[in-house]
Chains A and B, each alone.
Chain A
Amino acid sequence: MQPVIETQELCKVYGQRRAVDGVELHVPEGCVYGFIGPNGAGKSTTMKMLLGLVHPTAGRVCLLGQPMTERNRLALLRQTGSLIESPSGYPHLTGEENLQVVADLKGVPRKDIDRVLEIVDLAGDRRRKVGQYSLGMRQRLGIAMALLGSPRLLILDEPTNGLDPAGIQEMRDLLVHMPERTGATVFVSSHLLGEMEQMAEQVGIIDHGKMLFEGPLQALQRHSRGNYRLRVLQPQKAVPALQARGVPARLEKGALTLPPLPDAALAAAVQAVADAGAGVVELTAHTKSLEEIFLSLTQTREVK
Protein backbone atom coordinates (compact mmCIF):
# COMPACT_ATOMS: atom_id res chain seq x y z
CA MET A 1 0.00 0.00 0.00
CA GLN A 2 1.21 3.48 -0.88
CA PRO A 3 2.19 5.39 2.27
CA VAL A 4 0.31 8.69 2.74
CA ILE A 5 3.42 10.25 4.21
CA GLU A 6 6.89 9.30 3.14
CA THR A 7 10.06 11.22 3.81
CA GLN A 8 13.56 10.54 2.61
CA GLU A 9 16.60 11.77 4.51
CA LEU A 10 14.71 14.76 5.81
CA CYS A 11 17.03 17.25 7.52
CA LYS A 12 16.70 20.66 9.08
CA VAL A 13 19.70 22.54 10.36
CA TYR A 14 19.44 25.73 12.43
CA GLY A 15 22.92 27.24 12.65
CA GLN A 16 25.07 24.45 14.07
CA ARG A 17 22.14 22.45 15.44
CA ARG A 18 20.60 19.60 13.46
CA ALA A 19 16.97 19.80 14.59
CA VAL A 20 15.98 16.98 12.24
CA ASP A 21 18.60 14.57 11.01
CA GLY A 22 17.84 12.20 8.16
CA VAL A 23 14.30 11.31 9.21
CA GLU A 24 12.59 8.63 7.14
CA LEU A 25 8.88 8.27 7.77
CA HIS A 26 6.52 5.77 6.22
CA VAL A 27 2.94 6.34 7.32
CA PRO A 28 0.49 3.75 5.95
CA GLU A 29 -2.98 4.80 4.85
CA GLY A 30 -5.95 4.48 7.19
CA CYS A 31 -4.16 4.20 10.50
CA VAL A 32 -3.38 6.29 13.54
CA TYR A 33 0.36 6.86 13.48
CA GLY A 34 1.93 8.03 16.72
CA PHE A 35 5.00 10.19 16.36
CA ILE A 36 6.67 10.00 19.73
CA GLY A 37 9.56 11.88 21.21
CA PRO A 38 10.52 14.04 24.15
CA ASN A 39 10.22 17.81 23.99
CA GLY A 40 12.76 19.25 21.57
CA ALA A 41 13.20 15.93 19.76
CA GLY A 42 12.28 17.43 16.37
CA LYS A 43 8.62 16.37 16.13
CA SER A 44 7.16 19.81 15.43
CA THR A 45 9.92 20.73 12.99
CA THR A 46 9.35 17.49 11.10
CA MET A 47 5.61 18.13 10.98
CA LYS A 48 6.16 21.69 9.80
CA MET A 49 8.36 20.37 7.01
CA LEU A 50 5.60 17.95 6.03
CA LEU A 51 3.30 20.94 5.65
CA GLY A 52 5.83 23.12 3.87
CA LEU A 53 5.88 25.64 6.72
CA VAL A 54 9.60 25.10 7.23
CA HIS A 55 11.94 24.55 4.31
CA PRO A 56 13.99 21.36 4.70
CA THR A 57 17.75 21.77 4.58
CA ALA A 58 17.84 18.46 2.72
CA GLY A 59 15.59 15.54 1.94
CA ARG A 60 12.27 14.93 0.31
CA VAL A 61 8.64 14.81 1.40
CA CYS A 62 5.94 12.77 -0.34
CA LEU A 63 2.34 13.40 0.68
CA LEU A 64 -0.58 11.29 -0.50
CA GLY A 65 1.71 9.46 -2.90
CA GLN A 66 3.15 12.54 -4.59
CA PRO A 67 6.45 14.32 -4.04
CA MET A 68 5.60 17.69 -2.52
CA THR A 69 6.85 20.66 -4.51
CA GLU A 70 6.14 24.37 -4.25
CA ARG A 71 3.84 23.94 -7.24
CA ASN A 72 1.57 21.20 -5.86
CA ARG A 73 1.94 21.97 -2.15
CA LEU A 74 -1.37 23.73 -1.68
CA ALA A 75 -3.28 21.21 -3.78
CA LEU A 76 -1.93 18.42 -1.58
CA LEU A 77 -2.54 20.34 1.61
CA ARG A 78 -6.18 20.98 0.65
CA GLN A 79 -6.63 17.24 1.22
CA THR A 80 -4.89 17.55 4.57
CA GLY A 81 -5.97 18.96 7.91
CA SER A 82 -3.42 20.17 10.39
CA LEU A 83 -3.01 21.45 13.89
CA ILE A 84 0.53 22.48 14.72
CA GLU A 85 1.54 23.39 18.28
CA SER A 86 -1.16 25.75 19.54
CA PRO A 87 -4.58 25.98 17.87
CA SER A 88 -5.35 28.87 15.56
CA GLY A 89 -8.36 31.12 16.12
CA TYR A 90 -9.12 34.80 15.60
CA PRO A 91 -10.12 35.94 19.08
CA HIS A 92 -12.45 38.72 17.84
CA LEU A 93 -14.49 36.31 15.71
CA THR A 94 -16.87 33.59 16.85
CA GLY A 95 -16.02 29.92 16.48
CA GLU A 96 -18.39 29.67 13.53
CA GLU A 97 -16.90 32.75 11.83
CA ASN A 98 -13.41 31.30 12.26
CA LEU A 99 -14.57 28.10 10.60
CA GLN A 100 -16.16 30.12 7.80
CA VAL A 101 -12.82 31.78 7.07
CA VAL A 102 -11.09 28.40 6.90
CA ALA A 103 -13.91 26.74 4.94
CA ASP A 104 -13.91 29.52 2.34
CA LEU A 105 -10.15 29.37 1.96
CA LYS A 106 -10.29 25.58 1.63
CA GLY A 107 -13.13 25.85 -0.86
CA VAL A 108 -15.33 23.68 1.35
CA PRO A 109 -19.12 24.23 1.48
CA ARG A 110 -20.15 26.07 4.62
CA LYS A 111 -22.65 23.36 5.52
CA ASP A 112 -19.65 21.21 6.49
CA ILE A 113 -19.19 23.53 9.47
CA ASP A 114 -22.21 22.01 11.23
CA ARG A 115 -20.73 18.53 10.82
CA VAL A 116 -17.32 19.35 12.25
CA LEU A 117 -18.82 21.37 15.11
CA GLU A 118 -20.88 18.32 16.05
CA ILE A 119 -17.83 16.07 15.90
CA VAL A 120 -15.82 18.24 18.27
CA ASP A 121 -18.85 19.03 20.42
CA LEU A 122 -18.70 22.78 19.95
CA ALA A 123 -22.10 23.29 18.31
CA GLY A 124 -23.46 24.99 21.43
CA ASP A 125 -20.59 27.50 21.53
CA ARG A 126 -20.44 28.32 17.84
CA ARG A 127 -21.60 31.92 18.37
CA ARG A 128 -19.21 32.73 21.19
CA LYS A 129 -16.09 34.71 20.43
CA VAL A 130 -12.96 32.57 20.37
CA GLY A 131 -11.33 35.00 22.79
CA GLN A 132 -13.80 33.70 25.38
CA TYR A 133 -13.02 30.02 24.68
CA SER A 134 -11.07 27.88 27.14
CA LEU A 135 -7.86 26.27 25.88
CA GLY A 136 -9.68 22.97 25.51
CA MET A 137 -12.36 24.59 23.40
CA ARG A 138 -9.76 26.28 21.24
CA GLN A 139 -8.03 22.93 20.83
CA ARG A 140 -11.30 21.38 19.70
CA LEU A 141 -11.90 24.31 17.35
CA GLY A 142 -8.44 23.66 15.89
CA ILE A 143 -9.41 20.02 15.30
CA ALA A 144 -12.68 21.18 13.71
CA MET A 145 -10.70 23.41 11.32
CA ALA A 146 -8.49 20.45 10.47
CA LEU A 147 -11.54 18.25 9.82
CA LEU A 148 -13.23 20.68 7.43
CA GLY A 149 -13.60 19.15 4.00
CA SER A 150 -13.05 15.58 5.23
CA PRO A 151 -9.31 15.51 4.58
CA ARG A 152 -7.52 12.26 3.70
CA LEU A 153 -4.77 13.04 6.16
CA LEU A 154 -4.71 14.74 9.54
CA ILE A 155 -1.42 16.05 10.91
CA LEU A 156 -1.85 16.90 14.56
CA ASP A 157 0.93 18.12 16.80
CA GLU A 158 0.28 17.29 20.45
CA PRO A 159 -3.48 17.85 20.17
CA THR A 160 -4.10 16.95 23.81
CA ASN A 161 -1.79 19.66 25.14
CA GLY A 162 -3.51 21.76 27.75
CA LEU A 163 -6.64 19.62 27.92
CA ASP A 164 -8.08 18.36 31.18
CA PRO A 165 -8.26 14.58 31.71
CA ALA A 166 -11.82 14.39 30.38
CA GLY A 167 -10.83 16.45 27.35
CA ILE A 168 -7.81 14.20 26.74
CA GLN A 169 -10.04 11.11 26.82
CA GLU A 170 -12.52 12.76 24.41
CA MET A 171 -9.74 13.74 22.04
CA ARG A 172 -8.30 10.23 22.16
CA ASP A 173 -11.66 8.69 21.37
CA LEU A 174 -12.13 11.16 18.55
CA LEU A 175 -8.77 10.37 16.97
CA VAL A 176 -8.87 6.60 17.47
CA HIS A 177 -12.14 6.36 15.58
CA MET A 178 -11.19 8.87 12.91
CA PRO A 179 -9.89 6.34 10.34
CA GLU A 180 -13.07 4.27 10.48
CA ARG A 181 -15.42 7.25 10.70
CA THR A 182 -13.89 9.44 8.01
CA GLY A 183 -11.31 7.25 6.31
CA ALA A 184 -8.61 9.74 7.25
CA THR A 185 -5.11 8.75 8.23
CA VAL A 186 -4.09 10.40 11.48
CA PHE A 187 -0.48 11.40 12.05
CA VAL A 188 -0.33 12.55 15.63
CA SER A 189 2.61 13.52 17.78
CA SER A 190 2.95 13.33 21.52
CA HIS A 191 5.57 13.13 24.20
CA LEU A 192 3.15 11.11 26.35
CA LEU A 193 3.90 7.52 25.56
CA GLY A 194 0.94 6.06 27.44
CA GLU A 195 -1.32 8.18 25.27
CA MET A 196 0.13 6.70 22.11
CA GLU A 197 -0.26 3.15 23.47
CA GLN A 198 -3.98 3.84 23.64
CA MET A 199 -4.32 5.47 20.24
CA ALA A 200 -1.74 4.44 17.71
CA GLU A 201 -1.36 1.32 15.61
CA GLN A 202 1.88 2.47 14.03
CA VAL A 203 4.56 4.41 15.84
CA GLY A 204 7.70 6.31 15.06
CA ILE A 205 10.13 7.33 17.78
CA ILE A 206 12.33 10.35 17.33
CA ASP A 207 14.96 11.81 19.60
CA HIS A 208 17.59 14.47 18.96
CA GLY A 209 16.26 14.71 15.42
CA LYS A 210 16.89 11.06 14.57
CA MET A 211 14.38 8.26 14.11
CA LEU A 212 15.00 5.50 16.63
CA PHE A 213 12.22 3.17 15.63
CA GLU A 214 9.37 2.92 13.17
CA GLY A 215 6.80 0.16 12.85
CA PRO A 216 3.67 -1.34 14.36
CA LEU A 217 3.17 -0.76 18.06
CA GLN A 218 3.19 -4.52 18.68
CA ALA A 219 6.55 -4.80 16.95
CA LEU A 220 7.93 -2.14 19.22
CA GLN A 221 6.70 -4.03 22.24
CA ARG A 222 8.10 -7.29 20.83
CA HIS A 223 11.31 -5.59 19.85
CA SER A 224 11.94 -4.69 23.43
CA ARG A 225 10.79 -7.86 25.11
CA GLY A 226 11.65 -7.84 28.80
CA ASN A 227 13.70 -10.21 30.95
CA TYR A 228 12.37 -13.43 32.44
CA ARG A 229 12.28 -14.20 36.13
CA LEU A 230 12.78 -17.86 36.98
CA ARG A 231 12.08 -18.90 40.55
CA VAL A 232 13.56 -22.27 41.51
CA LEU A 233 13.99 -24.22 44.71
CA GLN A 234 17.75 -24.70 44.30
CA PRO A 235 19.36 -21.89 42.31
CA GLN A 236 22.86 -23.34 42.80
CA LYS A 237 21.81 -26.27 40.57
CA ALA A 238 20.03 -24.08 38.05
CA VAL A 239 22.86 -21.67 37.28
CA PRO A 240 25.37 -24.28 35.94
CA ALA A 241 22.61 -25.88 33.87
CA LEU A 242 21.80 -22.55 32.26
CA GLN A 243 25.44 -21.64 31.74
CA ALA A 244 25.99 -25.00 30.05
CA ARG A 245 23.33 -23.95 27.50
CA GLY A 246 24.96 -20.56 27.09
CA VAL A 247 22.18 -18.67 28.89
CA PRO A 248 23.56 -15.95 31.18
CA ALA A 249 21.61 -15.86 34.42
CA ARG A 250 22.03 -13.83 37.55
CA LEU A 251 20.56 -14.36 40.96
CA GLU A 252 18.47 -11.49 42.25
CA LYS A 253 16.24 -11.56 45.33
CA GLY A 254 16.08 -15.34 45.40
CA ALA A 255 15.19 -15.72 41.73
CA LEU A 256 17.11 -16.01 38.50
CA THR A 257 16.90 -13.27 35.92
CA LEU A 258 17.23 -14.47 32.33
CA PRO A 259 17.66 -12.18 29.31
CA PRO A 260 15.00 -12.03 26.55
CA LEU A 261 15.10 -15.33 24.64
CA PRO A 262 13.26 -16.80 21.68
CA ASP A 263 10.44 -19.11 22.78
CA ALA A 264 12.26 -22.32 21.76
CA ALA A 265 15.47 -21.35 23.58
CA LEU A 266 13.49 -20.41 26.66
CA ALA A 267 11.64 -23.73 26.70
CA ALA A 268 14.94 -25.60 26.34
CA ALA A 269 16.54 -23.60 29.15
CA VAL A 270 13.66 -24.27 31.52
CA GLN A 271 13.76 -27.96 30.60
CA ALA A 272 17.50 -28.03 31.39
CA VAL A 273 16.93 -26.41 34.78
CA ALA A 274 14.20 -28.92 35.56
CA ASP A 275 16.41 -31.82 34.44
CA ALA A 276 19.19 -30.53 36.72
CA GLY A 277 16.82 -31.02 39.65
CA ALA A 278 16.64 -27.34 40.58
CA GLY A 279 12.88 -27.48 41.11
CA VAL A 280 11.14 -25.02 38.81
CA VAL A 281 8.52 -23.06 40.74
CA GLU A 282 7.59 -20.09 38.59
CA LEU A 283 8.52 -18.40 35.31
CA THR A 284 7.32 -14.87 34.72
CA ALA A 285 7.93 -12.58 31.77
CA HIS A 286 8.60 -8.97 32.54
CA THR A 287 6.90 -6.86 29.85
CA LYS A 288 8.42 -3.42 29.41
CA SER A 289 6.06 -0.53 29.24
CA LEU A 290 6.36 1.75 26.25
CA GLU A 291 7.97 4.22 28.60
CA GLU A 292 10.77 1.77 29.39
CA ILE A 293 11.10 0.81 25.75
CA PHE A 294 11.43 4.44 24.80
CA LEU A 295 13.96 5.10 27.53
CA SER A 296 16.01 2.08 26.54
CA LEU A 297 15.98 3.16 22.91
CA THR A 298 17.03 6.71 23.70
CA GLN A 299 19.66 5.60 26.20
CA THR A 300 21.09 3.14 23.70
CA ARG A 301 21.50 6.01 21.29
CA GLU A 302 23.17 8.19 23.90
CA VAL A 303 25.66 5.42 24.73
CA LYS A 304 26.51 5.16 21.03
Chain B
Amino acid sequence: MPRALHAELQKAHRRHDLAVCLLVPLVILVWVGYSAPEVDSSTVHPFSALFYMGPTVDAILMPIGMAVLATRLWDVEEKGDFPKLLYTLQSRRSLFAAKAALGFGEVLLIAVLETAILLALGWWKGYADAVPASHILYHFVCTLAVCVMLFASELLLAVLLANPLPALCVGVVGALVGLFSAFMPPIVSLFVPWGYFIPLSSFVLASWDADTRIAVYGMRAFRPLLLAWVVVLAAAFFAFAWRAVREKEV
Protein backbone atom coordinates (compact mmCIF):
# COMPACT_ATOMS: atom_id res chain seq x y z
CA MET B 1 0.00 0.00 0.00
CA PRO B 2 2.74 2.60 0.79
CA ARG B 3 4.31 1.79 -2.57
CA ALA B 4 0.97 2.17 -4.34
CA LEU B 5 0.26 5.46 -2.57
CA HIS B 6 3.72 6.71 -3.50
CA ALA B 7 2.94 5.84 -7.13
CA GLU B 8 -0.33 7.80 -6.92
CA LEU B 9 1.54 10.83 -5.61
CA GLN B 10 4.04 10.49 -8.46
CA LYS B 11 1.17 10.40 -10.96
CA ALA B 12 -0.38 13.47 -9.32
CA HIS B 13 2.76 15.42 -10.20
CA ARG B 14 1.83 18.14 -12.73
CA ARG B 15 -1.82 17.08 -12.58
CA HIS B 16 -2.63 20.16 -10.48
CA ASP B 17 -4.86 18.30 -8.01
CA LEU B 18 -3.69 20.63 -5.27
CA ALA B 19 -4.76 23.61 -7.35
CA VAL B 20 -8.28 22.13 -7.59
CA CYS B 21 -8.26 21.49 -3.84
CA LEU B 22 -7.37 25.13 -3.23
CA LEU B 23 -9.58 26.59 -5.94
CA VAL B 24 -12.83 25.24 -4.45
CA PRO B 25 -12.25 26.81 -0.98
CA LEU B 26 -11.00 29.99 -2.68
CA VAL B 27 -14.29 30.36 -4.56
CA ILE B 28 -16.14 29.70 -1.29
CA LEU B 29 -14.04 32.40 0.37
CA VAL B 30 -14.85 34.95 -2.32
CA TRP B 31 -18.52 34.00 -2.60
CA VAL B 32 -19.36 33.75 1.09
CA GLY B 33 -17.02 36.62 1.94
CA TYR B 34 -18.85 38.84 -0.55
CA SER B 35 -22.28 37.83 0.79
CA ALA B 36 -21.37 37.82 4.49
CA PRO B 37 -23.54 40.23 6.52
CA GLU B 38 -21.96 43.23 8.18
CA VAL B 39 -21.99 43.40 11.98
CA ASP B 40 -24.27 46.41 12.08
CA SER B 41 -26.67 45.01 9.48
CA SER B 42 -30.13 43.71 10.15
CA THR B 43 -28.90 40.16 10.54
CA VAL B 44 -29.31 38.56 13.92
CA HIS B 45 -26.65 35.91 14.64
CA PRO B 46 -24.45 36.65 11.61
CA PHE B 47 -22.01 33.82 12.44
CA SER B 48 -24.88 31.38 12.09
CA ALA B 49 -25.82 33.15 8.85
CA LEU B 50 -22.32 32.42 7.58
CA PHE B 51 -22.65 28.72 8.41
CA TYR B 52 -26.11 28.75 6.84
CA MET B 53 -24.65 30.15 3.62
CA GLY B 54 -21.77 27.65 3.53
CA PRO B 55 -23.83 24.53 2.74
CA THR B 56 -25.76 26.40 0.02
CA VAL B 57 -22.53 27.35 -1.71
CA ASP B 58 -21.21 23.83 -1.10
CA ALA B 59 -24.26 22.38 -2.87
CA ILE B 60 -23.30 24.36 -5.96
CA LEU B 61 -19.52 23.92 -5.93
CA MET B 62 -18.80 20.57 -4.36
CA PRO B 63 -20.55 18.27 -6.88
CA ILE B 64 -18.47 19.88 -9.62
CA GLY B 65 -15.28 19.92 -7.55
CA MET B 66 -15.69 16.27 -6.56
CA ALA B 67 -16.40 15.29 -10.17
CA VAL B 68 -13.23 17.05 -11.29
CA LEU B 69 -11.08 15.38 -8.63
CA ALA B 70 -12.53 11.89 -9.08
CA THR B 71 -12.37 11.91 -12.86
CA ARG B 72 -8.81 13.23 -12.88
CA LEU B 73 -7.81 10.50 -10.48
CA TRP B 74 -9.09 7.71 -12.73
CA ASP B 75 -8.83 9.32 -16.13
CA VAL B 76 -5.06 9.50 -15.80
CA GLU B 77 -5.03 5.70 -16.12
CA GLU B 78 -7.37 5.66 -19.11
CA LYS B 79 -5.49 8.41 -20.93
CA GLY B 80 -2.18 6.70 -20.24
CA ASP B 81 -3.60 3.31 -21.27
CA PHE B 82 -2.04 2.10 -18.07
CA PRO B 83 -4.39 -0.39 -16.34
CA LYS B 84 -3.16 -3.35 -18.38
CA LEU B 85 0.39 -2.62 -17.31
CA LEU B 86 -0.48 -1.61 -13.74
CA TYR B 87 -2.37 -4.83 -13.09
CA THR B 88 0.81 -6.77 -13.82
CA LEU B 89 2.75 -4.67 -11.29
CA GLN B 90 0.32 -4.27 -8.42
CA SER B 91 -2.92 -5.78 -7.26
CA ARG B 92 -6.16 -4.12 -8.20
CA ARG B 93 -6.87 -3.84 -4.50
CA SER B 94 -3.73 -1.79 -3.85
CA LEU B 95 -4.41 0.44 -6.87
CA PHE B 96 -7.96 1.15 -5.74
CA ALA B 97 -6.98 1.57 -2.09
CA ALA B 98 -4.24 4.05 -3.02
CA LYS B 99 -6.58 6.04 -5.24
CA ALA B 100 -9.29 6.04 -2.58
CA ALA B 101 -6.78 7.16 0.06
CA LEU B 102 -5.42 9.97 -2.11
CA GLY B 103 -8.94 11.04 -3.05
CA PHE B 104 -10.03 11.01 0.57
CA GLY B 105 -7.01 13.11 1.49
CA GLU B 106 -7.91 15.68 -1.15
CA VAL B 107 -11.55 15.80 -0.04
CA LEU B 108 -10.47 16.10 3.60
CA LEU B 109 -8.25 19.05 2.70
CA ILE B 110 -11.16 20.79 0.96
CA ALA B 111 -13.53 20.16 3.89
CA VAL B 112 -10.98 21.42 6.41
CA LEU B 113 -10.34 24.55 4.37
CA GLU B 114 -14.07 25.17 3.87
CA THR B 115 -14.78 25.09 7.61
CA ALA B 116 -11.65 27.09 8.36
CA ILE B 117 -12.68 29.75 5.83
CA LEU B 118 -16.13 30.15 7.42
CA LEU B 119 -14.57 30.51 10.86
CA ALA B 120 -11.90 32.89 9.63
CA LEU B 121 -14.47 35.04 7.83
CA GLY B 122 -16.61 35.28 10.98
CA TRP B 123 -13.67 36.33 13.14
CA TRP B 124 -12.44 38.74 10.49
CA LYS B 125 -15.88 40.35 10.27
CA GLY B 126 -15.99 40.53 14.07
CA TYR B 127 -19.18 38.55 14.62
CA ALA B 128 -19.95 38.35 18.30
CA ASP B 129 -22.53 35.54 18.34
CA ALA B 130 -21.17 32.28 19.58
CA VAL B 131 -21.39 29.11 17.54
CA PRO B 132 -20.94 26.01 19.69
CA ALA B 133 -17.93 23.88 18.82
CA SER B 134 -20.22 20.87 18.43
CA HIS B 135 -22.10 22.62 15.60
CA ILE B 136 -18.84 23.58 13.91
CA LEU B 137 -17.62 20.00 14.19
CA TYR B 138 -20.96 18.70 12.93
CA HIS B 139 -20.80 21.09 9.97
CA PHE B 140 -17.30 19.83 9.15
CA VAL B 141 -18.28 16.17 9.46
CA CYS B 142 -21.37 16.67 7.29
CA THR B 143 -19.40 18.56 4.63
CA LEU B 144 -16.74 15.84 4.61
CA ALA B 145 -19.28 12.99 4.50
CA VAL B 146 -21.31 14.46 1.62
CA CYS B 147 -18.14 15.34 -0.30
CA VAL B 148 -16.76 11.82 0.14
CA MET B 149 -20.08 10.35 -0.97
CA LEU B 150 -20.14 12.55 -4.08
CA PHE B 151 -16.48 11.77 -4.79
CA ALA B 152 -17.15 8.02 -4.56
CA SER B 153 -20.17 8.25 -6.87
CA GLU B 154 -18.16 10.19 -9.46
CA LEU B 155 -15.28 7.74 -9.16
CA LEU B 156 -17.71 4.91 -9.83
CA LEU B 157 -18.95 6.63 -12.98
CA ALA B 158 -15.41 7.35 -14.16
CA VAL B 159 -14.38 3.71 -13.70
CA LEU B 160 -17.52 2.27 -15.27
CA LEU B 161 -17.60 4.54 -18.30
CA ALA B 162 -13.83 4.99 -18.79
CA ASN B 163 -14.58 8.55 -19.83
CA PRO B 164 -14.52 11.65 -17.64
CA LEU B 165 -17.23 13.52 -19.52
CA PRO B 166 -20.36 11.74 -18.19
CA ALA B 167 -19.12 12.06 -14.61
CA LEU B 168 -18.42 15.77 -15.09
CA CYS B 169 -21.86 16.27 -16.64
CA VAL B 170 -23.47 14.48 -13.70
CA GLY B 171 -21.49 16.78 -11.39
CA VAL B 172 -22.76 19.92 -13.14
CA VAL B 173 -26.35 18.70 -13.36
CA GLY B 174 -26.14 17.49 -9.75
CA ALA B 175 -25.04 20.95 -8.63
CA LEU B 176 -28.10 22.54 -10.25
CA VAL B 177 -30.54 19.89 -9.04
CA GLY B 178 -29.03 19.99 -5.55
CA LEU B 179 -29.43 23.74 -5.34
CA PHE B 180 -33.01 23.72 -6.64
CA SER B 181 -33.93 20.98 -4.18
CA ALA B 182 -33.22 23.47 -1.38
CA PHE B 183 -36.16 25.55 -2.57
CA MET B 184 -38.52 22.58 -2.81
CA PRO B 185 -40.49 21.07 0.10
CA PRO B 186 -37.98 19.61 2.61
CA ILE B 187 -38.92 16.03 1.73
CA VAL B 188 -37.68 16.56 -1.85
CA SER B 189 -34.17 17.43 -0.72
CA LEU B 190 -33.86 14.00 0.88
CA PHE B 191 -33.96 12.42 -2.58
CA VAL B 192 -31.24 14.61 -4.04
CA PRO B 193 -27.85 13.47 -2.71
CA TRP B 194 -25.92 16.31 -4.42
CA GLY B 195 -27.74 18.81 -2.25
CA TYR B 196 -27.47 16.93 1.06
CA PHE B 197 -25.30 19.73 2.43
CA ILE B 198 -28.46 21.78 2.94
CA PRO B 199 -30.83 19.38 4.76
CA LEU B 200 -27.92 18.19 6.90
CA SER B 201 -27.03 21.69 8.00
CA SER B 202 -27.78 22.56 11.63
CA PHE B 203 -28.05 26.26 10.82
CA VAL B 204 -31.38 27.72 9.77
CA LEU B 205 -33.02 30.97 8.83
CA ALA B 206 -35.31 31.22 11.85
CA SER B 207 -37.32 34.19 10.68
CA TRP B 208 -37.39 36.91 8.09
CA ASP B 209 -39.41 40.06 8.56
CA ALA B 210 -40.16 41.61 5.20
CA ASP B 211 -41.13 44.94 6.74
CA THR B 212 -38.17 45.48 9.00
CA ARG B 213 -35.91 43.36 6.75
CA ILE B 214 -34.53 41.68 9.83
CA ALA B 215 -33.30 38.14 9.35
CA VAL B 216 -32.78 35.95 12.34
CA TYR B 217 -30.55 32.93 12.00
CA GLY B 218 -30.34 30.12 14.48
CA MET B 219 -29.50 26.50 15.02
CA ARG B 220 -31.48 23.31 15.00
CA ALA B 221 -30.91 19.74 16.11
CA PHE B 222 -28.42 17.55 14.30
CA ARG B 223 -29.73 14.97 11.84
CA PRO B 224 -27.71 11.84 12.69
CA LEU B 225 -29.95 9.52 10.70
CA LEU B 226 -29.48 11.48 7.51
CA LEU B 227 -25.75 11.70 8.21
CA ALA B 228 -25.64 7.94 8.70
CA TRP B 229 -27.49 7.50 5.39
CA VAL B 230 -24.83 9.63 3.67
CA VAL B 231 -22.09 7.45 5.17
CA VAL B 232 -23.91 4.33 3.98
CA LEU B 233 -24.25 5.81 0.49
CA ALA B 234 -20.56 6.72 0.44
CA ALA B 235 -19.60 3.20 1.53
CA ALA B 236 -21.90 1.71 -1.10
CA PHE B 237 -20.46 3.88 -3.89
CA PHE B 238 -16.92 2.96 -2.83
CA ALA B 239 -17.88 -0.72 -2.73
CA PHE B 240 -19.40 -0.54 -6.23
CA ALA B 241 -16.39 1.36 -7.54
CA TRP B 242 -14.06 -1.27 -6.06
CA ARG B 243 -16.15 -4.01 -7.63
CA ALA B 244 -15.99 -2.26 -10.99
CA VAL B 245 -12.20 -1.98 -10.75
CA ARG B 246 -11.87 -5.60 -9.61
CA GLU B 247 -14.02 -7.07 -12.35
CA LYS B 248 -13.21 -4.86 -15.28
CA GLU B 249 -11.21 -6.72 -17.89
CA VAL B 250 -8.64 -4.68 -19.73
Residue A80 at the chain B interface, CB threshold 8 Å: yes
Interface bits A128-139 vs B (CB < 8 Å: 1, else 0): 001000000000
Contact A74 B10 (CB under 8 A): no
| Bound form: Cα–Cα A84–B89 in Å | 14
Interface size classification for chain A:
20 to 34
Query: In the complex, which of the residues A54, A82, A107 contacts B88, with contact meaning CB atoms closer than 8 Å?
Result: A82
| Bound form: Cα–Cα A55–B250 in Å | 10
The stretch of B43-51, B74-82, B225-233 in contact with A is: B74-82
Known contacts being A101-B11, A105-B7, is A80 close to B80, with CB within 8 Å? no
Query: In the complex, which of the residues A80, A83, A88, A104 contacts B7, with contact meaning CB atoms closer than 8 Å?
Result: A104
Q: Which of B14, B79, B84, B87 has the most CB of A within 10 A?
A: B84
Distance of B6 from chain A, by nearest CB (Å): 6
Distance of B126 from chain A, by nearest CB (Å): 45
The stretch of A91-99, A167-175, A186-194, A250-258 in contact with B is: A91-99
Residue B90 at the chain A interface, CB threshold 8 Å: yes
Contact A84 B84 (CB under 8 A): yes
Interface size classification for chain B:
20 to 34
Residue B211 at the chain A interface, CB threshold 8 Å: no
Interface bits A119-132 vs B (CB < 8 Å: 1, else 0): 00000000000100
Query: In the complex, which of the residues A78, A88, A107 contacts B80, with contact meaning CB atoms closer than 8 Å?
Result: A88
| Bound form: Cα–Cα A83–B4 in Å | 21
Contact A86 B81 (CB under 8 A): yes
Residue A241 at the chain B interface, CB threshold 8 Å: no
The stretch of A45-53, A176-184, A270-278 in contact with B is: A45-53
Residue B91 at the chain A interface, CB threshold 8 Å: yes
| B15: A residues at CB distance < 8 A | 92
Q: Which residue of B lies closest to A92 (CB)?
A: B14
Interface bits B34-66 vs A (CB < 8 Å: 1, else 0): 000000000000000000000000000000000
Contact B80 A53 (CB under 8 A): no
| B86: A residues at CB distance < 8 A | 88, 105
Q: Which residue of A lies closest to B85 (CB)?
A: A88
| A104: B residues at CB distance < 8 A | 3, 6-7, 10
Q: Which of A52, A78, A86, A93 has the most CB of B within 10 A?
A: A93
Q: Which of B13, B15, B76 has the most CB of A within 10 A?
A: B13
Contact B87 A88 (CB under 8 A): no
Residue B209 at the chain A interface, CB threshold 8 Å: no
Contact A74 B91 (CB under 8 A): yes
Contact A82 B85 (CB under 8 A): yes
Known contacts being A85-B84, A86-B81, is A93 close to B11, with CB within 8 Å? yes
Q: Which of B15, B81, B89, B90 has the most CB of A within 10 A?
A: B89
Query: In the complex, which of the residues A48, A88, A93, A106 contacts B13, with contact meaning CB atoms closer than 8 Å?
Result: A93
Q: Which residue of B lies closest to A74 (CB)?
A: B91
Contact A102 B88 (CB under 8 A): no
Contact A48 B84 (CB under 8 A): yes
Interface bits A66-88 vs B (CB < 8 Å: 1, else 0): 00000000100110101111111
Interface bits B129-160 vs A (CB < 8 Å: 1, else 0): 00000000000000000000000000000000
Residue A11 at the chain B interface, CB threshold 8 Å: no
| A91: B residues at CB distance < 8 A | 79-80
Q: Would you list which residues of chain B between 1 and 31 have a CB under 8 Å from chain A?
A: 3-4, 6-7, 10-11, 13-15
Contact B88 A89 (CB under 8 A): no
| Bound form: Cα–Cα A107–B15 in Å | 24
Known contacts being A90-B76, A91-B80, is A51 close to B88, with CB within 8 Å? yes
Identify 24 residue pairs between A and B in the complex whose beta-carbon atoms are under 8 Å apart, listed by A's number: A48-B250, A53-B84, A53-B249, A54-B249, A55-B249, A74-B88, A74-B91, A77-B89, A78-B89, A83-B85, A85-B81, A85-B84, A88-B80, A88-B81, A88-B85, A89-B81, A90-B11, A90-B76, A101-B10, A104-B6, A104-B10, A105-B3, A105-B7, A130-B80
- Extra inter-chain contacts (14) besides given A53-B88, A93-B11, A107-B3, CB under 8 Å: A48-B249, A48-B250, A53-B84, A53-B87, A74-B91, A86-B81, A87-B81, A91-B80, A92-B15, A93-B13, A100-B10, A104-B10, A105-B4, A105-B7
